[in-house]
Amino acid sequence: MDVLRVDDQLTDEERMIRDTVRAFTAERVAPHVAGWFEEGTFPARELAPELGKLGLLGMHLEGYGCAGASAVAYGVACRELEAADSGLRSFVSVQGSLAMAAIHRYGSEAQKNEWLPRMAAGEAIGCFGLTEPDRGSDPGDMRTRARRDGSDWILTGAKMWITNGSVADVAVVWARTDEGVRGFLVPAGTPGFTASDIHRKLSLRASVTSELVLDDVRLPADAVLPDVTGLKGPLGCLSEARYGILWGAVGAGRSCYEAAVEYARTREQFGRPIGGFQLTQEKLAWMEVALGQAGLVALHVGRLKDGSGVTPQQVSFGKLANVRAALDVARQARTILGANGITLEYPVLRHMNNLESVLTYEGTQEIHTLVLGQAITGIAAYR
């Protein structure tokens, strides 16, 4: 069904990673994920060591037990994980591209040695706290504060919508200080630090999403990430994670497309398969085109990242284009499945609901539009 045969452009190693992740999700995730979604659970503790064994946690990072894979290999893995469920890819993205990447980029040698090998193995889980109840798209105006008390730091504030929050062993928390925004490593169980889950979600139900409360949390001097000050710290990590999303969205879209093709071939109305009607074929052809284009964008951005480097604007382009494409594919696929399309018997509405979160997190579609708008016109239109 891949008319453009985008995967022919992958190296043997990248194809091997694709097949390994596909086999893993087929065995360990696909049979259970509708149930997890229905129950609103994600077995993070159980899956983390298995994902670690496959080298998928911090996969693109070098050293400290990380696999040191190429950007394209990491992207292909994200695509296959998200074909199973966006919650699974979110877990891997937050662990590797946000929490581990923050420690890897900005941490001290002691912090790296303490956390990265265990996180790469899936023995320790991380989360990344940037968003706040009242500050999402504008994190520069965050309210969480860190003040010095002797050599210690005292953190006060709240973080909202934090993936992996209540299952994390360590939270990377971004807070305003007198010097600018700084990152702090807050181990679970630190007095004054609590994480409670957000319930009644209709999207990313197979993913843990939490609120973090920091009530005068006292941290030692060495809890701060020493190598970055300012918003460029969290934004640098977000660009890494967005890169995974622009691949992952292709996987979620592909899963919906495959379900629609299979359904169109077998479902009969008016005495013939619905795939024999021109209106259905128009939808399927459009999905094929949309996903082929999204796959090419992902591969192009990935090859740039492995080669001369990628700009935040290129990542915004990919995130905006590919999540939108995947969501449109999911919506079209849903119509082909008729009433069956609204159930958990098929992956389509689950993906569609998940993609609503993916459209919003790591920069909303509006914010990525403004990033491109600024790149095009030279005029910033955020405020």
> Which residues contact ligand FAD by CB under 6 A?
94, 128-131, 136-137, 161-163, 204, 209, 357, 360-362, 364, 366-367, 370, 382
The nearest distance, CB 244 to ligand FAD, in angstroms, is 13
- Rounded to whole angstroms, the Cα distance separating 211 from 196 reads 5
CB of 348 to ligand FAD, least distance (A): 19
Closer residue to ligand FAD, CB minimum distance, 61 or 195: 195
How, if at all, do strands 170-177 and 126-129 pair?
Answer: parallel
The answer to whether 14 and 70 have CB atoms below 8 angstroms apart is yes
Could you tell me if 78 and 196 are in contact, meaning their C-beta atoms sit under 8 angstroms apart? no
| 262 part of the active site | no
Cα(13)–Cα(16) distance, integer angstroms: 5
Q: What is the smallest separation between the CB atom of 17 and ligand FAD, expressed in angstroms?
A: 25
Tokens 């990935």 belong to residue: 302
| Closest listed residue to residue 125, CA positions, set 42, 183, 206, 204 | 42
- Shortest approach of ligand FAD to residue 106 CB, angstroms? 16
Instruction: Kindly give the interhelix angle for 232-266 and 278-306, rounded to the nearest 10 degrees.
Output: 150
Which residue, 195 or 204, is less far from ligand FAD as judged by CB? 204
For residue 276, the number of C-alpha atoms closer than 13 Å in the C-beta half-sphere is: 8
Tokens standing for residue 284: 């399927």
Between 161 and 257, CB nearer to ligand FAD: 161
* Residue number with CB closer to ligand FAD (39 or 345): 39
Distance CA 313, CA 318 (A): 9
CA-closest candidate to residue 90, choices 30, 42, 160, 138: 42
Nearer to ligand FAD, 74 or 161 (CB): 161
Q: The tokens 């890897």 sit on which residue?
A: 104
For 236, the token pair is 């640098």
* CB 160, min distance to ligand FAD, A: 7
In the complex with ligand FAD, the residue whose CB is nearer, 128 or 153, is: 128
Q: Tell me if 138 sits within 8 A of 147, measured CB to CB.
A: no
Q: Give start and end residues of each alpha helix (H) in the chain.
A: 12-28, 33-39, 44-53, 71-84, 86-93, 101-106, 109-120, 232-266, 278-306, 312-336, 348-360, 365-377
**Cβ–Cβ under 8 Å, residues 142 and 182:** no
In angstroms, what is the minimal distance from the CB of 59 to ligand FAD?
18
Report the nearest approach of ligand FAD to the CB of residue 343 (Å): 22
Nearer of residues 78 and 274 to ligand FAD, judged by Cβ = 78
Active-site hit among 211, 282, 362, 366: 362
Question: Closest by alpha carbon to 82, among 208, 207, 199, 264?
Answer: 207
Q: Which residues are catalytic?
A: 362
